[in-house]
Amino acid sequence: MKYALCLFPAFLYAITASAQTAEYELYKRSADSCGQSVMLYRDGTFYTTGGCKGAGESSVGQWRQVQDTVFFRSGNPENVKVIQSLTAFTTPGDSLSVVILASCGKNISQSTALSWELPDGGRDPMLISPEGKILITNPPSEGRLLLSVMGQDIRLPSDVANNFVIRLNIPAEWASAREWCRMSRFCLLRKEGRLEMPGIISAVYDQHTHQ
C-alpha cells in the first residue's frame, strides 16, 4: 500500500490532558477545523488525525522535545506490529465469532474493519452481535477472515477454529483509522498548554478532555 505525504496544518492546538493523568496528551483544534488533533504518548510516539472534505488521514511516528520545541518524525504504518496476541478455539455450531481488543483491553470490535475474503478477491462485511462480537453465520466453504488495520491486511486461520479473541498492540484510536499518510518531518512549539507552528500567529483553541 502506498502512502502520500500529508501536510501538517499550520495552526494552534490546545492541550486537553496532562501526562500525569493520561497515557497521552491530546491537542485539538476548534470545531471548525475538520476534527484535526494530535496525541503525544508518554512512550515518545505520536498520532495525528483529521482533515477536511472527507480527506481525513492519520499518521504515526516518534516525537521528542528539546526546550520548547517538539520534533516529529513520521513512520510507516505498515511496519507497526499490530497483533499482540491471538487466541483461537472451537465451539459447536456453524458460526464464526471474533472479538477484537485494543492494547488496553477495551473491546473495539465494532470500530475495526473485519471481513470475509472471497476467493475472487471480494469481501463480505461481518455482523456485530449485541454482545460486541463480530459474527458470520454459515460462512462460505471457501475464503477466510481478513482484518484490515493500519494499512495492513491480516488473514486469520479460520479453517482451524471458529472463535477468535484478538488483542491488538495499538491503541483504539489507531485501529479505527481508515486512511493513512506519511508526513515529512516537522516541529511545533509547546508552551502554555498549546502547540503552534513556529512563525504562525493563531487563535487559542478550546480545551477538551478524553477518557
Q: Grid coordinates representing 62?
A: 516518534
pTM, 2 dp: 0.74
b/e per residue 10-37 (b: at least 16 CB within 10 A):
ebbbbbbbeeeebebbbbbbeeebeebb
Domains and CATH numbers, the chain: 13-78+177-196 (2.40.128.300), 81-169 (2.60.40)
- Residue ranges of alpha helices (H) inside 63-102 are none
pLDDT, tens digit, 9 for 90 and up, residues 23-52? 888 887 765 556 678 888 888 999 988 765
Provide mean pLDDT across the span 198-207. 46
% of the chain at pLDDT higher than 90: 9
* Greatest mean pLDDT range, 26-40, 104-118, 128-142, 161-175: 161-175
